[in-house]
Amino acid sequence: MAAERLLEVKDLKVHFNTPDGIVRAVDGVSFTLDRGETLGIVGESGSGKSVTCLTTLRLINLDTADVSGQVLFKGRDLLKVSKEELRHVRGKELSMIFQDPFACLHPYYRVGDQIMEAIHAHDGCGKNEAKKRVIELLGSVGIPRPDQRFADYPHQFSGGMRQRAMIAMALVHNPDVLIADEPTTALDVTVQAQILDLIERLKQDFNVGVILITHDLGVIADVAQKVMVMYAGRAIELASRDDMFAQPLHPYTWGLLESIPHVDQKGTRLIPIQGSPPSLIRVPPGCPFHPRCPHRFEPCDKDVPELVDRGGHPEACHLSIEDKRRLWSEREQLRKKVAS
Partner 1 sequence: MLSLTFAAFYARMVRGNLLETLGEDYIRTARAKGLSERKVIGKHALRSSLTPVVTIFGLDFSLLLGGAILTETVFNLPGIGQLVVSAVNRNDIPVVLATTVVAALFVTTISLVVDIFYSYLDPRVRLS
**Shortest Å, Cβ 29 to partner 1:** 20
With 0-12 CB in 10 A as exposed, 13-18 as middle and 19+ as buried, what is 25? buried
Q: Which residues bind partner 1 (CB under 8 A)?
A: 54, 57, 59, 83, 87-92, 95-96, 98, 100, 103-110, 117-118, 121-122, 153, 155-156, 166, 169
**Shortest Å, Cβ 90 to partner 1:** 4
58 belongs to the binding site for ligand ATP (CB under 6 A): no
With 0-12 CB in 10 A as exposed, 13-18 as middle and 19+ as buried, what is 284? middle
Closest by alpha carbon to 319, among 273, 243, 253?
Answer: 253
Indicate which single residue of 6, 7, 15, 16 sits in contact with ligand ATP (rule: CB under 6 A): 16
With contacts defined by CB under 6 A, name the span among 44-52, 75-83, 154-162, 250-258 that binds ligand ATP: 44-52
Nearest residue by C-beta to Mg ion? 50
With contacts defined by CB under 5 A, name the span among 22-30, 47-55, 149-157, 299-307 that binds Mg ion: 47-55
Task: Give the 3-state secondary structure of residue 191.
Answer: helix
46 belongs to the binding site for ligand ATP (CB under 6 A): yes
163 belongs to the binding site for Mg ion (CB under 5 A): no
184 belongs to the binding site for ligand ATP (CB under 6 A): no
**Shortest Å, Cβ 332 to partner 1:** 41
DSSP string, 92-133: TTEEEE-S-TTTSS-TTS-HHHHHHHHHHTT----HHHHHHH
Strand 308-309's sheet: what is its strand order? Answer: 94-97, 177-181, 209-213, 38-42, 226-231, 234-240, 314-315, 308-309
45 belongs to the binding site for ligand ATP (CB under 6 A): yes
Indicate which single residue of 6, 9, 23, 166 sits in contact with ligand ATP (rule: CB under 6 A): 23
Q: Choosing among partner 1, Mg ion, ligand ATP, none, which partner's interface includes residue 45 (Cβ < 5 to 8 Å by kind)?
A: ligand ATP
Indicate which single residue of 26, 41, 48, 50 sits in contact with Mg ion (rule: CB under 5 A): 50
Find out whether 49 and 213 touch, Cβ atoms under 8 Å: yes
95 belongs to the binding site for ligand ATP (CB under 6 A): no
180: which residues sit within 8 A by CB, 6+ positions away? 96, 97, 199, 210, 211, 212, 213
Site string for ligand ATP, 267-306 (x = CB under 6 A): -------------x--------------------------
With 0-12 CB in 10 A as exposed, 13-18 as middle and 19+ as buried, what is 305? buried
Q: Choosing among Mg ion, partner 1, ligand ATP, none, which partner's interface includes residue 25 (Cβ < 5 to 8 Å by kind)?
A: ligand ATP
**Shortest Å, Cβ 91 to partner 1:** 4
Considering beta carbons, is residue 43 or 286 the nearer one to ligand ATP?
A: 43
The three-state DSSP-derived secondary structure of 290-305 is: HHHCCCCCHHHHCCCC
Angle at 42 between CA 336 and CA 77, to 5 degrees: 150
With contacts defined by CB under 6 A, name the span among 42-50, 219-227, 293-301, 305-313 that binds ligand ATP: 42-50
Find out whether 97 and 164 touch, Cβ atoms under 8 Å: no
114 belongs to the binding site for Mg ion (CB under 5 A): no
Closest by alpha carbon to 161, among 136, 131, 186, 127?
Answer: 186
Helices (H), the chain: 49-56, 83-89, 111-120, 127-140, 146-149, 159-171, 189-206, 217-223, 241-246, 251-258, 321-339
184 belongs to the binding site for Mg ion (CB under 5 A): no
Indicate which single residue of 29, 39, 40, 50 sits in contact with ligand ATP (rule: CB under 6 A): 50
- Note the residues at the interface with Mg ion (CB under 5 A): 50
**Where does this chain bind ligand ATP (CB under 6 A)?**
16, 18, 23, 25, 43, 45-51, 99, 280
